[in-house]
């Protein structure tokens, strides 16, 4: 390529303890190029981004901006060199206007040191015109739609004279029409010579807007080149890896039980929630594992919460164990025999400052108490039994949960729900941040539950996991269920296409 290289990473490495997150990775962004960055969860994309923005200091390698060496691990220095990042979560101040946010922390000033409002507005308007962005500069950011907030962040980056803008899953929370608007904006930036990095799981989008693409797997670049040089199936293949297919096949050697015993425990018909999801219909059978998969923002978590009573669905009907229900709180769902291992175990699941024992008994207090008074022996027995069955390490019920490893935390969380002896168990991304050993143990527990007749609904974005453990697979795309089938009837490549084939 003849175009100028704006940002370049040379042999970047990053290790956390013994864990290698990134190994000797080369990466380069040219002027006027939209560069896609693809890879499954844990492939090292976010580590690479964090090094490029200075949020992480690399263990090895160098970052060059416009051909000169940039200081490592300094977010401010990278900003000043013109490398800006738009993270998944907002970095705006909701109570301030668009104008104030655009010049956050570094507004133009008059000679007296006051903020030069006229100059600020003039500059902002010039940028709006140059990049053809439509924004009300006086609107308060909290009143803007999400796509507009993304544009404010883009404008904020441009106001810093950013040459390179990194975007981490910019479309995760956007609707289809908003995605198109964002892509138009990106096209205009490219035409004006800005270099963009576009991280996305949605392959459609990657093929729509990117000029070049880098595929990462296991902390290394496995392919990079122009988007014309690769087809979509090839891209998927590179993301998933050839050897991986075999691995998942060997795991999948376990017999599958689509539709379990044939008895329907939970049946949803046309469930909808305003502005969130609609027309969701599915059945969950006794003794099966139904995997619900899709991209971030496809509203799977919201669906689970609406069934569980921690949110409310606004349309459709729900039958649980043959009875039409609509829970107004989780306690009702739990009383009916539904358990729910939520997505973010630190935020929604665990009592971090409490002991393993306290956490294990917390959903089934009635089992270990009478009239609200503890039955200490029952507490002890329950704790010992779960620690033994789940192989929690260290095997100490008084250990504070905060101090356990991710895998053991997840086992404790699972144990809590096993104690209510659930007829139906929801799990939302149960193996994120869990080591391989614990992952296998969790799968074994789920299979055992299935054998005992529990109906399991598992939300996962990890294709390998879905292929390994699912009896049936359902796919959600932007709040709609687009596909349901037996796990044996689909290959991993087809599944990836289904999930990312969103924009239709």
Partner 1 sequence: MLSLISYLRTAIPTYAMPVALLIVIGLFGALAPVFLTPANFTAIIYQMSITGIMAVCMTFVIMTGGIDLSVGPVLATSGLVVFFLLHIAHFPLFPAVVLGILTGAVTGAISGLVIALFSLPAMIVTLGMLSIVRGSALLAGGPDLHLVREQPGFEFIGNGFLFGIPFAIWIFVAVSLLLIFIQKRTTFGLQVAAVGDNERAAYLSGRRVKLVKMMTYVICGMGAALAGIIQSSQVHTAAATYGEFGTELDVIAAVVLGGASLLGGKGSVARTILGVLFLAVLNNGFNILNVPIDYQLIIKGGIIVIALSLTEWANSKVA
Partner 2 sequence: MVRLRQLPNIELLAFFLLLYAFFCFYAPHFNTASNLENLLVGYSFIAVLAIGQSFPIMVRGIDLSIGSIMALGGMVLFDLSVIYEVPGYVVIPAVLLVCLLAGLLNGALVVWLRLQPFVATLSTLAAYRGVVYAISGRQLFPEMATRPITDPWLTGMDSYLDIGGVTGLDQYMEMPWLPLSFFLLVGIFIIIQTMHSKTQFGMNFKIVGGNPEAARLAGINVKLTILSAYGLSGLSAGIAAIILVTRLTTATEALGNGMELTAIASAVIGGISLQGGIGNAFGPIIGAMLLGIILLGLTLLGISQFVQQIISGLILIGAIGYDKLLSDFRMRKARAMQSGS
Give the footprint of partner 1 on this chain (CB under 8 A).
308, 310, 329-331, 333-335, 340, 342, 347-354, 358, 362-363, 365, 369, 372-374, 402, 416
In Å, what is the CA distance from 158 to each residue of 113, 161, 166, 173, 355? 23, 5, 12, 22, 49
From the list partner 2, partner 1, none, partner contacted by residue 276 (C-beta under 5 to 8 A by kind): partner 2
From the list partner 2, partner 1, none, partner contacted by residue 416 (C-beta under 5 to 8 A by kind): partner 1
Spatial separation of the C-alpha atoms in residues 285 and 266, rounded to whole Å = 7
Smallest gap from Cβ 345 to partner 2, in A, equals: 22
From the list partner 2, partner 1, none, partner contacted by residue 17 (C-beta under 5 to 8 A by kind): none
Smallest gap from Cβ 385 to partner 1, in A, equals: 19
* Residue 444 near partner 2 by CB under 8 A: no
* Residue 73 near partner 2 by CB under 8 A: no
* Residue 117 near partner 2 by CB under 8 A: yes
Smallest gap from Cβ 346 to partner 1, in A, equals: 9
Cα 216 → chain centroid: 17
From the list partner 2, partner 1, none, partner contacted by residue 76 (C-beta under 5 to 8 A by kind): partner 2
Long-range Cβ contact pairs of 481-487 (< 8 A, separation 24 or more): 481/279, 481/280, 481/281, 481/282, 484/282, 486/256, 486/258, 487/252, 487/256, 487/258, 487/291
Of the candidates 324, 503, 331, 308, the one whose C-alpha atom is nearest the C-alpha of residue 425 is: 308
Sheet holding 338-341, edge to edge: 338-341, 424-428, 455-459, 289-294, 472-477, 480-486
Site for partner 2 in 401-430 (CB under 8 A): none
Q: What tokens were used for 152? A: 């404010």
Q: Give the CA diameter of the chain.
A: 78
The 10 Å Cβ neighbour count of residue 306 is 25
Q: What tokens were used for 497? A: 């296409």
Q: Which stretch binds partner 2 (CB under 8 A): 109-117, 223-231, 320-328, 381-389?
A: 109-117
Run of H or E residues at 102: helix 98-102
Smallest gap from Cβ 352 to partner 1, in A, equals: 6
* Residue 111 near partner 2 by CB under 8 A: no
Site for partner 2 in 256-295 (CB under 8 A): 274-276
* Residue 159 near partner 2 by CB under 8 A: no
Residue-by-residue DSSP string for 485-500: EEGGG--HHHHHHHHH
* Residue 138 near partner 2 by CB under 8 A: yes
Smallest gap from Cβ 73 to partner 2, in A, equals: 14
- Backbone angles phi and psi of 474, in degrees to 5: -120, 145
Smallest gap from Cβ 233 to partner 2, in A, equals: 32
Strand-pair category, 212-217 with 34-38: parallel
Spatial separation of the C-alpha atoms in residues 96 and 100, rounded to whole Å = 6
CB closer to partner 1, 363 vs 468: 363
Q: Is 28 helix (H, G, I), strand (E, B) or coil?
A: strand
Q: How many residues bind partner 2 (CB under 8 A)?
A: 35
* Residue 347 near partner 2 by CB under 8 A: no
* Residue 127 near partner 2 by CB under 8 A: no
* Residue 330 near partner 2 by CB under 8 A: no
Smallest gap from Cβ 373 to partner 1, in A, equals: 6
CB closer to partner 2, 276 vs 482: 276
Cα 237 → chain centroid: 21
In Å, what is the CA distance from 391 to each residue of 124, 395, 396, 458? 59, 8, 11, 22
From the list partner 1, partner 2, none, partner contacted by residue 106 (C-beta under 5 to 8 A by kind): partner 2
From the list partner 2, partner 1, none, partner contacted by residue 178 (C-beta under 5 to 8 A by kind): partner 2
Spatial separation of the C-alpha atoms in residues 300 and 428, rounded to whole Å = 9
* Residue 177 near partner 2 by CB under 8 A: yes
CB closer to partner 2, 100 vs 462: 100
* Choice from 32, 60, 75, 272 touching partner 2 (CB under 8 A): 75
CB closer to partner 1, 198 vs 308: 308
Burial 42-62 (b: 16+ CB within 10 A, else e): bbbbbbbbbbbbbbbebeebe
* Choice from 43, 79, 102, 467 touching partner 2 (CB under 8 A): 79
From the list partner 2, partner 1, none, partner contacted by residue 328 (C-beta under 5 to 8 A by kind): none
Q: Do 250 and 468 form a contact (C-beta atoms < 8 A)?
A: no
* Residue 86 near partner 2 by CB under 8 A: no
* Choice from 3, 57, 71, 93 touching partner 2 (CB under 8 A): 93
Spatial separation of the C-alpha atoms in residues 481 and 500, rounded to whole Å = 13
Residues that bind partner 2 (CB under 8 A): 75-76, 79, 90-97, 100, 104-107, 109, 113-115, 117, 138, 142-147, 173, 175, 177-178, 274-276
């Amino acid at each position: 390529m003849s175009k100028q290289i704006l940002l370049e990473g040379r042999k970047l490495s990053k290790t956390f303890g013994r864990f290698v997150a990134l190994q000797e990775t080369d990466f380069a962004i040219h002027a006027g190029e939209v560069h896609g960055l693809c890879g499954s969860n844990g492939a090292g994309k976010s580590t690479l981004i964090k090094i490029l923005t200075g949020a992480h200091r690399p263990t090895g390698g160098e970052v060059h901006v416009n051909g000169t060496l940039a200081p490592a691990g300094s977010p401010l220095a990278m900003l000043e060199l013109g490398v800006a990042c738009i993270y998944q979560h907002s970095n705006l101040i909701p109570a301030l206007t668009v104008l104030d946010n655009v010049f956050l922390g570094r507004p133009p000033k008059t000679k007296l040191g006051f903020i030069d409002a006229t100059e600020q507005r003039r500059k902002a308007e010039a940028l709006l015109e140059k990049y053809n962005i439509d924004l009300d500069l006086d609107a308060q950011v909290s009143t803007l739609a999400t796509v507009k907030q993304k544009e404010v962040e883009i404008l904020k980056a441009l106001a810093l004279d950013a040459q390179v803008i990194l975007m981490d899953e910019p479309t995760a929370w956007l609707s289809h029409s908003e995605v198109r608007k964002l892509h138009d904006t990106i096209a205009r930036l490219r035409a004006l010579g800005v270099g963009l990095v576009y991280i996305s799981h949605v392959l459609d989008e990657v093929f729509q807007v990117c000029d070049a693409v880098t595929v990462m797997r296991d902390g290394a670049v496995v392919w990079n080149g122009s988007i014309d040089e690769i087809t979509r199936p090839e891209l998927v293949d590179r993301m998933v890896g050839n050897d991986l297919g075999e691995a998942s096949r060997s795991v999948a050697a376990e017999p599958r039980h689509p539709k379990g015993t044939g008895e329907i425990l939970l049946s949803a018909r046309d469930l909808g929630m305003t502005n969130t999801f609609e027309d969701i219909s599915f059945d969950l059978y006794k003794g099966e594992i139904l995997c619900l998969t899709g991209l971030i923002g496809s509203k799977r978590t919201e669906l689970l919460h609406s069934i569980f009573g921690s949110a409310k669905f606004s349309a459709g009907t729900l039958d649980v164990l043959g009875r039409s229900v609509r829970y107004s709180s989780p306690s009702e769902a739990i009383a009916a025999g539904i358990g729910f291992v939520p997505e973010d175990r630190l935020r929604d699941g665990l009592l971090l400052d409490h002991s393993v024992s306290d956490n294990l008994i917390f959903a089934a207090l009635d089992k270990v108490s009478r009239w609200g008074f503890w039955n200490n022996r029952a507490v002890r027995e329950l704790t010992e039994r779960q620690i033994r069955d789940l192989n929690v390490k260290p095997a100490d019920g008084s250990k504070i949960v905060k101090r356990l490893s991710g895998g053991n935390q997840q086992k404790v969380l699972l144990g809590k729900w096993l104690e209510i002896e659930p007829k139906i168990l929801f799990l939302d991304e149960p193996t994120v941040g869990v080591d391989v050993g614990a992952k296998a143990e969790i799968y074994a527990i789920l299979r055992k539950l299935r054998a005992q007749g529990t109906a399991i609904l598992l939300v996962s974005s990890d294709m390998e996991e879905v292929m390994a453990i699912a009896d049936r697979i359902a796919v959600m795309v932007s709040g709609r269920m687009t596909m349901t089938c037996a796990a044996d009837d689909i290959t991993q490549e087809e599944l990836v296409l289904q999930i990312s084939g969103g924009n239709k």
